Amino acid sequence: MNAISVQTITTEDTGETIHGVTVLGDYHMNGGYDWMELIGEHGWVVIPSWGSDGWDLGQWPYVMVAGTRTADGIGNLFGMATYCEGDVKTTFYRTKARYWDAITEEAFSHWKNGQAHGPEDLPEAAAELPSRYRIPPTFQTAAAA
């Protein structure tokens, strides 16, 4: 798979098949900062932090989470890509709520395993996170919109 391709995808939350979507794939040509620049040219942005206080989301340039918002004839479409030393996984969601849940689950994973600086009072499971940890920081709106 190419680092950037147009594909048919299935949304994670609604199971819809959508054609002609820009998908991010594995990127082993250069490093993470080069990946950030490349995806920016295609409407994606790396999300630097998550939660009301803006805790780290990943460990740049090795582990990152990127997002995009696009639309089709039905409505909004939200994409999330995880980058881990060149390995990339891309998922799409029809609803912002499920998209935010996916980012929250990714953030929790990074916080819990020590890959990123997160809140000190983490519960045992992502589903138990208080609402203040499940939203983009108030100073960050572009990637999370």
Model confidence at 115, pLDDT cuts 50, 70, 90, reads confident
Range(s) of the domain holding residue 117: 4-133
Q: Is residue 141 part of a domain?
A: no
Per-residue model confidence as pLDDT tens digits over 67-102 = 999 999 999 999 999 999 999 999 999 999 999 999
pLDDT at 142 over 70: no
Q: Is residue 142 part of a domain?
A: no
pLDDT at 140 over 70: no
Average pLDDT, the chain: 93
Q: Is residue 85 part of a domain?
A: yes
Q: Is residue 111 part of a domain?
A: yes
Per-residue model confidence as pLDDT tens digits over 34-43 = 999 999 999 9
What per-residue confidence (pLDDT) applies to 1? 58
Q: Is residue 110 part of a domain?
A: yes
Query: Structurally, how many domains does the chain consist of?
Result: 1
Closest alpha carbon to 122 in 112, 114, 113: 112
Model confidence at 145, pLDDT cuts 50, 70, 90, reads low
Beta bridge partners of 91: 80
What per-residue confidence (pLDDT) applies to 46? 97
60-94: burial string, b at 16+ Cβ within 10 Å, e else: ebebbbbbbbeeeeeeebbbbbbbeeeebebbbbb
**What percentage of residues in the chain have a pLDDT greater than 70?**
94
pTM of the model: 0.91
pLDDT at 143 over 70: no
